[in-house]
Amino acid sequence: MMREKGIKDQRVLDAMNKVPRHVFLDSSFLEHAYQNKAFPIGADQTISHPYTVAFQSELLQVKPNDKILEIGTGSGYQCAVLLEMGAQVYTIERQNELYKKTNLIFRKLNYRPKRYFFGDGYKGMPEDAPFDSIIVTCGAPQIPQTLLSQLKIGGRMVIPVGDDPQIMTLLIRETATQFSKETFGEFRFVPFLDGKQ
């Protein structure tokens, strides 16, 4: 299904085939787990469409041992795909209910992010910066400068920008002060909120 939709990176396809998406869903959605749909996961959040996860992962151009910051752990599904691709993932979740629930799933499936943090995604993880890549899994009204500053030179940031819908945006840090920018069409994400709860 992903290949027909234009996903070409075999490492993304292989990783998605390895991750058991049904484990990241509430039991009431199990029979639909492998459809290309988003589902609620609690705390007014959703698990993204598999295509969206594949698309963002492909834009990152993940290499083994890449140090990746994920903003918005959510169900943990995107993080699991990146871990299957050999990345070292530092991931932040602002909803305590989801943070605890997803921690149990990570343990059950033996997925081990380098750091799994309950906190404000707008702050990122400056103490662990710089990162090879940053992936944002919620819709940001604008691009947060605090996150751009945590990207290494040559690093890539994939972020949906705007209200509803958002425009998928790729930023590459060319120099200390210059970024190139490319956009990839409309997607729908839950909003990127500050603080934690």
The CA distance from 71 to 193, in Å, is 11
Q: Which of 48, 57, 75, 133 is catalytic?
A: 48
DSSP state at residue 140: B
Q: CB of 108 within 8 A of CB of 39? A: no
Report the distance separating Cα 77 and Cα 80, nearest Å.
Answer: 5
To the nearest 10°, report the CA torsion of 75, 78, 79, 80. 90
What phi, psi does 40 have (nearest 5°)? -65, 145
User: Is position 180 annotated as part of the catalytic site?
Assistant: no
Would you name the residues annotated as active-site residues? 48
